[in-house]
Chains A and B, each alone.
Chain A
Amino acid sequence: MWRWLICGVLGLGIGVGSALAVSGGLFSDAKLVSGRWSTDPTVGAAAANPWLRATIARVGLLALTKEETVYFNRDVDEDGAKLVEGCTYALAGEAIPTRWWSITIYGADQMLPINTDRASSIDATRALIAPATTWSGTLSPTRPTTPGPWLSSKGGGTYSLTIRLYNPQSVEKSALQALKLPSVKKVSCTQSPASGGAN
């Protein structure tokens, strides 16, 4: 009898644990990649499979369908190293064929890092002021002295970035893959950055 009890409890624990791990994004399998940014175009759609639906419920509740908004995420810099609070990164981008875009920083808990810098996001209206077609900014834990938009990583720990593309001109796979999304290049670190693999 005790064999059945041990195996049953252990099995149930593994089953629930694996579901929580998968839905927490631990084994994220985004289907579409553009540079170091990745997305799953079925986000928000009724056709999303149960695993993706559970993942979205935990890490991106109330997402829109791709026709309305495409969400690209990244947690590594251009060299594939994890984005960490102790490092400063140079951001560079250009006009994107979408009605409006914004980049937001999220901590490991999927929430905005707690700070009072009022710099949790950069959006098209602030980064690309006409007639400019390119922009450059800074991602760092302290306010930079260089001009340009700033994304504060203070309190972020090991964090990720999300770029929202509202009403993109095309949601075809080839068009999304060809997007020139902003680059994130490491400039310096005040602590040893965590090593990271390819995203």
Chain B
Amino acid sequence: MAQDKYKPGWLKPIAFGALMVVLGHLLTIGLIPNAIMNIAMKRIAEASGGINRLAHGNMVTPQNQQIVRSSPDLAYSTCALDLSKGPVRVFIGKGADYTSAAFYAGNTDNVFTLNDRKIGPEGAKIMVVSARSPIAAQPGEVVVSLPSDKGLLLVRRLAPSAEAFKRVQAERAKDYCRAVIDGV
């Protein structure tokens, strides 16, 4: 009489497959924001000539759009932030119309936004620090603390026409984003 032999079934491999579904899903969901943010930061740093440098974008058109869902009615300025070597100083001049400076952490969270209603006639001085960097803000500076060393600054200024864009170009001429070690 033939002896019954152990035959491997499908139950355990299917359970393993189900586990891989969950792991693959959660890992991908968790990695997407940082991966996309890293790509965006790399592009912005290249456009700005390096990290901790402010770049002023042109009027957004279908031909020059850089990022998903840009608004053609806004003039954008961007700065890829790297706080690993210390804080970064930012200056945003007062605009005649809507202006905001939004700071994003490496996982895309919008951690802080300052708009023109809170920017005085002298403009806004902002010191950006990471959670582990020392705070050495000067009097009158707004301190923004990012939970990560890497992040992004996106400045929006309302410019729905060529005339408004021309005005905005003058308004933002003195804006900057610089590492403190650059000697601001």
Q: Which residues of A contact B (CB under 8 A)?
A: 3-4, 6-8, 10-16, 18-20, 22-23, 44-46, 48, 50-51, 53-54, 56-65, 67-68, 99-100, 102, 104, 106, 109-116, 118, 120-121, 123, 125-126, 155, 162, 164, 166-167
> Once the chains bind, are A22 and B68 in contact (CB under 8 Å)?
no
A187 to B165, CA, bound (A): 34
Q: Assuming the A-B contacts A16-B28, A46-B109, are A7 and B62 also in contact, with contact meaning beta carbons closer than 8 angstroms in the complex?
A: no
> Once the chains bind, are B104 and A18 in contact (CB under 8 Å)?
no
Residues of B52-85 contacting chain A, CB below 8 A: 60-63, 65, 67-73
A4 to B160, CA, bound (A): 58
Interface contact tally, CB-CB below 8 A = 175
> Once the chains bind, are B33 and A7 in contact (CB under 8 Å)?
no
Contacts of A6 in B (CB 8 A): 13, 17
Contacts of A125 in B (CB 8 A): 160-161
> Once the chains bind, are B17 and A62 in contact (CB under 8 Å)?
no
Chain A: CB-nearest residue to B78: A62
Q: How far is the CB of B61 from chain A (nearest CB, A)?
A: 8
Contacts of B124 in A (CB 8 A): none
A16 to B61, CA, bound (A): 33
> Once the chains bind, are A7 and B17 in contact (CB under 8 Å)?
yes
Q: Assuming the A-B contacts A50-B29, A62-B108, are A112 and B17 also in contact, with contact meaning beta carbons closer than 8 angstroms in the complex?
A: no
Number of interface residues of B (CB under 8 A): 54
> Once the chains bind, are A48 and B109 in contact (CB under 8 Å)?
yes
Flag B12-47 by CB within 8 Å of A: 1 or 0 each.
Answer: 111011111111111111101100110010000000
Q: Does chain A have a CB within 8 A of B111?
A: yes
Shortest Cβ-Cβ A-B pairs, 5 listed: A15-B24, A7-B17, A11-B20, A11-B17, A19-B28
Q: Is the interface of A mostly helix, strand, loop or mixed?
A: mixed
Q: Assuming the A-B contacts A102-B71, A115-B62, are A51 and B14 also in contact, with contact meaning beta carbons closer than 8 angstroms in the complex?
A: no
Contacts of B65 in A (CB 8 A): 111-112
Choose among B111, B117, B154 the residue that contacts A46 (Cβ–Cβ < 8 A): B111
> Once the chains bind, are A102 and B73 in contact (CB under 8 Å)?
yes
Q: How far is the CB of A30 from chain B (nearest CB, A)?
A: 15
Q: Assuming the A-B contacts A15-B20, A114-B62, A120-B62, are A99 and B36 also in contact, with contact meaning beta carbons closer than 8 angstroms in the complex?
A: no
Q: How far is the CB of B168 from chain A (nearest CB, A)?
A: 14
Given pairs A57-B108, A59-B68, 17 additional interface contacts (CB within 8 A): A7-B17, A12-B21, A12-B23, A46-B109, A56-B108, A57-B33, A62-B102, A63-B110, A112-B62, A112-B70, A114-B62, A121-B71, A125-B161, A126-B161, A166-B98, A167-B98, A167-B115
A155 to B70, CA, bound (A): 17
Q: Most chain-B CB neighbours within 10 Å: which of A12, A99, A100?
A: A12
Q: Please list 20 pairs of residues, one from A and one from B, whose beta carbons are closer than 8 Å in the complex, sorted by A's number.
A: A3-B13, A6-B13, A8-B16, A11-B21, A12-B21, A12-B24, A18-B21, A44-B109, A45-B109, A57-B36, A57-B108, A61-B36, A62-B104, A64-B110, A111-B69, A112-B62, A112-B70, A115-B62, A123-B160, A167-B115
Choose among A12, A51, A111 the residue that contacts B68 (Cβ–Cβ < 8 A): A111
> Once the chains bind, are A114 and B63 in contact (CB under 8 Å)?
yes
Q: How far is the CB of B84 from chain A (nearest CB, A)?
A: 21
> Once the chains bind, are B71 and A13 in contact (CB under 8 Å)?
no
A5 to B108, CA, bound (A): 35
Q: Assuming the A-B contacts A4-B13, A7-B20, A44-B110, are A57 and B160 also in contact, with contact meaning beta carbons closer than 8 angstroms in the complex?
A: no
> Once the chains bind, are B113 and A68 in contact (CB under 8 Å)?
yes
Choose among B14, B19, B113 the residue that contacts A64 (Cβ–Cβ < 8 A): B113
